[in-house]
Amino acid sequence: MTQPPTLYDQNSYYDSDGLASRLAPSLDPLLHALDWEKARSAVRAFTRHTGKRVGASSGLRVLDIGAGDGKFLYFMRRFGFTPSGTTASEISQKAAMAKFGIELEHTTEIPENLRANKFDVITYWHVFEHLEDPAAHIAACQQILAPGGLIIIEVPNPESIGARLSFNAWLGSDVVHHINPMTATEIETLVERHGLKVVGREDFSLKFTYPFLWSALLGATFGNKTYDFDSVFGTLKNPIGRLRSTPFATLNALASTVYLAPAIGVCALAGLASRRGEVFRLYIQSASR
């Protein structure tokens, strides 16, 4: 089902280059490596929880909801999965095809043509918090999940150490787009209501733990009025522009990625130990399995 233009097609969300990037181009190689690792970890988890082997002739299918520019699906295809995906953004739909040859459905729902299939892996990478009706998505997932298949949901943790330090500066907040933040308990209750169960959980992300804690510690140290969400995210998205408009604050923000490192490390370890990490990732399967 095709959607009209949404707030995800505004330049405030994606950069104006049409490549569906949210951060400075200089960070693209790092993001590429992190998405490859994300795909590799998804394949490892799938093998661990299902016992199924992955390969070019395995016939396995993956559905990524809110697939962005398609990098994750591109890597999953290289691992042997047949990829399908959705996006709420026409910009990212075009970018996925141009960059990776990945065809995405432009919709905020799971369309009928995808519901006709069964998927071995269904993923929501920092998308679940954007959904207006998460219960409808889970109900659909229960129907299209292949026997023994795996659902992976990763979201910012609203109960994390960073969120409690300085929610307004914490990069996991994004109150404009994250309209439905949910705790792990709330998601677990939701999936159980639809005949699914959480079979695993992780509380650390190579991609998100460090920047989320960095932003929160900036906010807690220097005050939310100086390091609000837009300022912190703007530094990652356009550091040169920020240097021109707010040179001292931006230089401090960039330098703090180094001098706050010890505190970030301590908070990351504390989050792991207490299950208050900056994100949580849930692995979900059918309860009748």
**Under the phi-then-psi rule, with left for phi > 0, alpha for psi from -120 to 50, and beta for the rest, what region is 12?**
alpha
Q: pLDDT tier at 12 (50, 70, 90 boundaries)?
A: low
The lowest-confidence range among 30-39, 188-197, 239-248 is 239-248
Mean pLDDT of the chain: 89
pLDDT for 20 beyond 70: no
Q: Which residue segments constitute the domains of the chain, with CATH numbers given?
A: 7-286 (3.40.50.150)
Task: Give dist(CA 177, CA 200) in Å, integer.
Answer: 27
**163 close to 193: Cβ distance less than 8 angstroms:** no
pLDDT (tens digit, 9 = 90+) per residue, 76-98? 999 999 999 999 888 899 999 99
Question: What is the model's pTM?
Answer: 0.91
Per-residue tokens: 182: 């949910």
Q: In b/e form, how buried is each residue of 26-42, taking b as 16+ CB within 10 angstroms?
A: eeeeeeeebbbebbeeb
Q: If you compute the radius of gyration of the chain from its CA atoms, what whole number of angstroms results?
A: 19
pLDDT for 246 beyond 90: no
Contacts of 86 (CB under 8 A, 6+ apart): 63, 64, 65, 66, 67, 104, 105, 106, 107, 108, 109, 110, 111, 114
More confident residue, 222 or 20: 222
The lowest-confidence range among 47-51, 119-123, 227-231 is 227-231
Task: Give dist(CA 47, CA 241) in Å, integer.
Answer: 45
Per-residue pLDDT averaged across 61-68, rounded? 96
- In the DSSP assignment, the letter for residue 78 is H
